[in-house]
Amino acid sequence: MMMRSMLWGQPVRRWQDRLRPNFWDLVAFPLLFGLLALIVVGAGGMTKPFDLGEPQTISLDPRNLPYYALRTVMRMLIALAVSFLFTLIYAAAAAKSRMAEKILIPILDILQSIPILSFLTITVTGWIALFPGSLLGPECAAIFAIFTSQAWNMTFSLYQSLRTVPLDLQEAARMYHVGPWGRFWRLELPHAMPNLVWNMMMSVSGGWFFVVAAEAFSVAGQNITLPGVGSYIATAIDQRNLLAVGYAVVMMLIVILAYDQLFFRPLLSWSNKFKPEHEPGIDAGRPWFLTMLQKAGLVRLFRIGFAAGGQIWDQTIGAAFKRGLGALGVGRGAAMDRVSSTPRWVERAYDGLLLLVAGYVVYRLGSVVEARLTFHEVLRVFYLGFLTAIRVLVLIALATAVWVPIGVWIGLRPKLTRRAQPIVQFLAAFPANLFFPIAVALILRFNANPEIWLSPLMILGTQWYILFNVIAGAASLPQDFQYVARNLGVSRWVWWRRLIIPAIFPAYITGALTAAGGSWNAAIVSEWVQWGATTLTATGIGAYIKEASNDGDNARLILGTLVLCVYVILLNRLFWRRLYDYAAERMRLDDV
């Protein structure tokens, strides 16, 4: 669909010219057909027969690694596609219907704070039952887990963008009779595209972390292993094979690099076209893969076929779908003033109904927990949550102390910034849990205290968010401010306190907020780690949830998850959100 709207905007040249093979075809031909072949191979493996309890063997032979990596990447891409689809539907519904918005947004807020492992553990039996005797069950469970690590973020981004479509463009669309369906594809989604793509990139970075965790998991004492880089690592941990861990790290490095070059750099660059104005300085050159996609005759042939197919789709299925949507009244509201036409009592009744449902859900969850657990246990879990909260905050503070000065130093040097940003983004995408075994081996070697030394693992992967936001913040500081500071000859201390800290504060808060959210999720993986038969734990809510999940103890799992959600939501609302609003209101640079 999107590909088509991009095509429409292009002038016709003689199409024979555009299809003539050129230099780029030399690259495009092997690359595209190679990708096609890989998809076929990978898909074959996903549907292999499988029964619960059947032992799955992962070979540590590095020659098998590329195949495992392929499986991991396929999981990732499928999850991303599903997330994208979910985002379109969920965000559009929330942005266009007030009734839907009231329920969808709070739900999203809660979903966002539920750790991925809880989703995995709770849903895995359902997935396996759905596809009995096939590996597709656990495969879906893993994909679902990755999906949960990406979808909420992307949905929020799209929802926010849909709410901020410029009024004049909305009016122009209506004035020229672009219907609700057309408005979504031609106006609202393109407007949202740059933010959505950026958010996708961030979300996928998080996804790599969890794909590693979701490929090898045990539920109710059963070990389920899906062929992939994650399970390769798990096997390596099991056999205490540091060399194999090293292989996996290198493989992951290659995979993420390829994914960055072939997928996200081009996508990001392409999404710039949806921005209303050129943004100088951001253009980091044209990614070669995008150039190839736009220049190779072969690709053009694909695109023309795609456009034709799209038109047929539009006239048949699309038209029917549109009629259906129109009948349901979907897609009306957004462009008009959002004044509701529903009578007040209906809204009240609806609100009441929502409250009742929410109350019932809380009651049911409560009774599951209450039947099995004591009040004392609940208190203990809150205490464990407190310990984890302390860890998160201390680590954020430490990461701040380290990365803010470095980030500012880089950000104030444009050349360095251009080189550093892709590297930092890459580091953020790299699944830090691949390094856990190394850390554990070190802790064991030096007999260090796991309560303290396991903690840094929580922030290993998330600290980069702080770094690259600080770099971006410092880089956007107008040169004039620096000249003023130099002209006045301010001291180092005044320079930091009056200029730099206020200038980077909003960006820093965004980074710290993301890092903190990621760290809570990472707590589950990092407070409870294994090396061969040795298990190291740090006291905290992450370890509690992980143990509950290992034992298949749903009551404790639900309790742990609920308490974690309470902590995350409270910290967000009472701490991060306020800092963020404060920063946005007081320290904006565009208002001076």
- Closest to another protein by CB, 180 or 461: 180
Distances (CA, A) of 508 to 154, 464, 584: 21, 11, 11
Contacts by 76-79, CB closer than 8 A, 24 or more apart: 76/146, 76/204, 76/207, 76/208, 76/211, 76/259, 78/143, 79/143, 79/144, 79/146, 79/147, 79/150, 79/207, 79/211
Given a contact cutoff of 8 angstroms between Cβ atoms, the answer to whether 437 and 233 are in contact is yes
Q: Measure the CA–CA gap between 207 and 213, rounded to whole angstroms.
A: 10
Which amino acid type is present at position 565? C
Rounded to the nearest whole angstrom, what is the least distance from the CB of residue 171 to another protein in the complex? 5
Q: Measure the CA–CA gap between 80 and 518, rounded to whole angstroms.
A: 18
- Closest to another protein by CB, 188 or 215: 188
- Closest to another protein by CB, 205 or 271: 271
Q: First CA to last CA across the chain, in angstroms?
A: 41
Residues with Cβ < 8 Å from 126, sequence gap 6 or more?
none
Rounded to the nearest whole angstrom, what is the least distance from the CB of residue 274 to another protein in the complex? 5
Rounded to the nearest whole angstrom, what is the least distance from the CB of residue 429 to another protein in the complex? 27
Q: Measure the CA–CA gap between 55 and 224, rounded to whole angstroms.
A: 8
Q: Measure the CA–CA gap between 470 and 464, rounded to whole angstroms.
A: 10
Rounded to the nearest whole angstrom, what is the least distance from the CB of residue 473 to another protein in the complex? 22
Rounded to the nearest whole angstrom, what is the least distance from the CB of residue 299 to another protein in the complex? 19
Using CB under 8 A as the criterion, which residues of the chain lie in contact with another protein when the complex forms? 5-6, 8-12, 166, 168-169, 171-179, 182, 186-187, 190, 193, 273-278, 337, 339
Rounded to the nearest whole angstrom, what is the least distance from the CB of residue 194 to another protein in the complex? 10
Rounded to the nearest whole angstrom, what is the least distance from the CB of residue 349 to another protein in the complex? 22
Q: Measure the CA–CA gap between 272 and 257, rounded to whole angstroms.
A: 21
Rounded to the nearest whole angstrom, what is the least distance from the CB of residue 9 to another protein in the complex? 4
Q: Measure the CA–CA gap between 345 and 105, rounded to whole angstroms.
A: 22
- Closest to another protein by CB, 174 or 372: 174
- Closest to another protein by CB, 200 or 538: 200
- Closest to another protein by CB, 12 or 36: 12
Which amino acid type is present at position 112? Q
Which amino acid type is present at position 362? V
Query: Could you give phi then psi for residue 383, rounded to 5 degrees?
Result: -65, -45
Contacts by 41-45, CB closer than 8 A, 24 or more apart: 41/67, 41/70, 42/70, 42/71, 42/73, 42/74, 43/74, 45/71, 45/135, 45/227
Rounded to the nearest whole angstrom, what is the least distance from the CB of residue 487 to another protein in the complex? 24
DSSP state of 49: B
- Closest to another protein by CB, 132 or 166: 166
Between strands 528-531 and 222-225, the pairing is: unpaired
272's enclosing H/E stretch is none
Rounded to the nearest whole angstrom, what is the least distance from the CB of residue 11 to another protein in the complex? 4
| CA neighbor of 180 nearest in space, from 92, 311, 290 | 92
- Closest to another protein by CB, 39 or 178: 178
Rounded to the nearest whole angstrom, what is the least distance from the CB of residue 271 to another protein in the complex? 10
Rounded to the nearest whole angstrom, what is the least distance from the CB of residue 177 to another protein in the complex? 4
| CA neighbor of 521 nearest in space, from 213, 156, 151 | 213
Rounded to the nearest whole angstrom, what is the least distance from the CB of residue 592 to another protein in the complex? 14
Q: Measure the CA–CA gap between 411 and 479, rounded to whole angstroms.
A: 12
Which amino acid type is present at position 297? G
- Closest to another protein by CB, 191 or 546: 191
- Bridge-partner residues for 585, per DSSP? none
- Closest to another protein by CB, 274 or 481: 274
496's enclosing H/E stretch is none
Which residue is associated with the tokens 């974690």?
564
Total length of the chain: 592
Q: Is 301 exposed, middle or buried (0-12, 13-18, 19+ CB in 10 A)?
A: middle
Tokens representing 398 are 């430490």
Rounded to the nearest whole angstrom, what is the least distance from the CB of residue 478 to another protein in the complex? 22
- Closest to another protein by CB, 18 or 372: 18
- Closest to another protein by CB, 61 or 283: 283
Q: Measure the CA–CA gap between 207 and 199, rounded to whole angstroms.
A: 12
- Closest to another protein by CB, 186 or 380: 186
- Closest to another protein by CB, 24 or 270: 270
